[in-house]
């Protein structure tokens, strides 16, 4: 039993949050500082970007979650605090501010920053904003979710209720996209809270297994960010018997966790910079999971296909092309491609060859906001799904002068 409920990171028992505008950004109506605190030290697991260039906050967070526990998360937007001479110093100072205002030891603080790379992050606005940030702590997950947005156009938060051996548990999350999105072992910034009782080891195991099929399968532009961080905290207040092994309870938690990450993947892709469409590529009939994932990700990564989707052009040749250079082990002469959307289904390719279709129906199917590209490799039993978006004028516009 898995039920979506309202709210985000504050939906599970034992978490409060808030978000404020402290002045890192000039734009006063845009919040830029978020805080999540747990009532007690919580089992905590994280995954991070594989980019060799890592934001200073990641180095600090790794230290702080080494023991598998944390109690607070502080995040700023507007500046990634990356490639700066004083990055670690500033990140540590931010954690110290959390300790000063909440009493939570800075060594139990998870920290993340997102925004422009290579510009120094000044501590002053953060210092100035802490009092209001802490005073407002409560059921304010939405304010926190707003404060981590960069070019995101919609707030990304959600929550589910689920049962672990009869006990009602909750899981909530907030995250931000939306450019430089091609996560590898982690996503942009995502923070998940749950009241499930689980050991840090099992929590890390669940997280690391899940990102392979969720966050690592989203791509907006094939640029793997320097600050990607996905952090999950488990307060244990749901009262279930602590999950210590890969049993039925663990699997129930994993199902709930995957529901959260998959829903977020769709939100991120749909809100990709400049995107007008969510493109979901479902690959089946692959020789292995690896082949299925390579194929699905290659299709949603093709700039030519992304541009064709923007133009509602059923240019399926570009899908075969992307499959052909994906590196996946596949037999071109077995490939079958069908488009699906609210407006209907359109088969365009069988046995690696084009088949007749109506351009009129094609336009209708591809003009919807959610397009499923259904690729059957007819060569095995493995599946994978990847999420992306179309490539539009606005992607270029947004990124032509993001910094200046």
Q: How far is the CB of 142 from a second copy (least distance, A)?
A: 29
Is residue 307 a contact residue for a second copy (CB under 8 A)? yes
Is residue 22 a contact residue for a second copy (CB under 8 A)? no
**Per-state percent for the chain, helix, strand, coil, to nearest 5:** 35, 30, 40
Size of the site for a second copy (CB under 8 A): 65
Identify which of residues 4 and 50 has a Cβ nearer to a second copy in the complex.
50
Partners of 34 in the β-ladder: 19, 75
Q: Are 75 and 114 in contact, with CB atoms under 8 Å apart? A: yes
Q: E strands, 306-343, where?
A: 336-341
The residue annotated as part of the active site, out of 151, 187, 229, 338, is 187
Phi, psi of 134 (to 5 degrees): -75, -40
By residue count, the chain amounts to: 404
Contacts to a second copy from residues 43-102, by CB under 8 A = 50-54, 80, 82-85
Q: Which of 212, 311, 334, 340 binds a second copy (CB under 8 A)?
A: 311
Phi, psi of 82 (to 5 degrees): -130, 140
Q: How far is the CB of 305 from a second copy (least distance, A)?
A: 8
List, as one string, the DSSP characters of 234-269: E--TT-PPPB-SSSHHHHHHHHHHHHHHHHHHHHHH
| Strands 189-194 and 229-234, sheet pairing | parallel
Q: Which of 349, 371, 377, 389 binds a second copy (CB under 8 A)?
A: 349
Active site residue 187: yes
Residue whose pair of structure tokens reads 């505008």 in the numeric block? 21
Compute the CA torsion angle 151, 77, 65, 130 (nearest 10 deg).
-150
Is residue 316 a contact residue for a second copy (CB under 8 A)? yes
Contacts to a second copy from residues 118-177, by CB under 8 A = 118-120
Q: How far is the CB of 80 from a second copy (least distance, A)?
A: 8
Q: Which of 239, 334, 352, 368 binds a second copy (CB under 8 A)?
A: 352
Q: Which of 139, 168, 201, 313 binds a second copy (CB under 8 A)?
A: 313
Q: How far is the CB of 397 from a second copy (least distance, A)?
A: 8
Q: Which of 59, 96, 116, 372 binds a second copy (CB under 8 A)?
A: 116
Q: Which of 107, 184, 199, 208 binds a second copy (CB under 8 A)?
A: 184
Q: How far is the CB of 326 from a second copy (least distance, A)?
A: 8
Q: Are 315 and 324 in contact, with CB atoms under 8 Å apart? A: no
Identify which of residues 384 and 391 has a Cβ nearer to a second copy in the complex.
391
Q: Which of 111, 180, 278, 294 binds a second copy (CB under 8 A)?
A: 180
Q: Are 223 and 117 in contact, with CB atoms under 8 Å apart? A: no
Q: How far is the CB of 359 from a second copy (least distance, A)?
A: 7
Q: Which of 1, 66, 103, 325 binds a second copy (CB under 8 A)?
A: 325
Partners of 337 in the β-ladder: 349, 375
Identify which of residues 72 and 186 has a Cβ nearer to a second copy in the complex.
186
Identify which of residues 39 and 351 has a Cβ nearer to a second copy in the complex.
351
Partners of 161 in the β-ladder: 3, 170
| Sequence-ordered list of residues with C-beta below 8 angstroms from that of 301, at least 6 positions apart, any chain | 182, 219, 222, 322, 388
Phi, psi of 6 (to 5 degrees): -80, 165
Binding site for a second copy (CB under 8 A): 50-54, 80, 82-85, 116-120, 179-180, 182, 184, 221-226, 301-304, 307-308, 310-311, 313-318, 320-325, 330, 332, 349, 352-354, 359, 391-393, 395-404
Catalytic annotation, residues: 187
């Amino acid at each position: 039993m898995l039920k979506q409920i309202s709210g985000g990171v504050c939906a599970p028992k034992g978490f409060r949050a808030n978000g404020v505008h402290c002045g890192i950004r000039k734009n006063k109506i845009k919040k830029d500082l978020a805080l999540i605190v747990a009532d007690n030290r919580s089992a905590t697991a994280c995954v991070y970007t594989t980019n060799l260039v890592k934001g200073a906050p990641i180095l600090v967070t790794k230290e702080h979650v080494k023991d598998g526990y944390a109690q607070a998360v502080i995040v700023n937007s507007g500046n990634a605090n990356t490639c700066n001479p004083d990055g670690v110093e500033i990140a540590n100072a931010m954690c110290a501010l959390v300790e000063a205002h909440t009493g939570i030891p800075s060594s139990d603080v998870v920290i993340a920053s997102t925004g422009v790379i290579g510009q120094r992050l000044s501590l002053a606005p953060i210092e100035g904003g802490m009092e209001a940030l802490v005073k407002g702590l409560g059921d304010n997950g939405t304010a926190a979710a707003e404060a981590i947005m960069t070019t995101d156009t919609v707030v990304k938060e959600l929550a589910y209720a689920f049962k672990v051996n009869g006990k009602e548990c909750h899981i909530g999350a907030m995250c931000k996209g939306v450019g430089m999105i091609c996560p590898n072992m982690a996503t942009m910034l995502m923070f998940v809270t749950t009241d499930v009782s689980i050991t840090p080891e099992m929590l890390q195991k669940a997280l690391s297994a899940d990102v392979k099929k969720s966050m690592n399968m989203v791509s907006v532009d094939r640029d793997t960010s320097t600050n990607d961080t996905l952090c999950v905290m488990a307060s244990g207040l749901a009262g279930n018997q602590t999950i210590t092994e890969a049993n039925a309870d663990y699997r129930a938690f994993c199902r709930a966790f995957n529901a959260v990450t998959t829903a977020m993947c769709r939100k991120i892709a749909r809100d990709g910079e400049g995107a007008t469409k969510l493109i979901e590529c479902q690959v089946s009939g692959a020789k292995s999971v690896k082949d299925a994932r390579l194929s699905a990700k290659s299709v949603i990564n093709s700039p030519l296909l992304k541009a064709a989707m923007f133009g509602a052009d059923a240019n399926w040749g570009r899908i075969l092309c992307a499959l052909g250079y994906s590196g996946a082990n596949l037999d071109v002469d077995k490939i079958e491609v069908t488009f699906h959307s609210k407006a209907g289904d359109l088969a365009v390719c069988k046995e690696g060859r084009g088949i007749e279709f109506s351009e009129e129906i094609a336009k209708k199917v591809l003009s919807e906001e959610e397009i499923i590209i259904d690729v059957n490799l007819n060569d095995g039993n493995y599946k994978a799904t990847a999420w992306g978006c179309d490539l539009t004028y606005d992607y270029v516009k947004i990124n032509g002068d993001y910094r200046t």
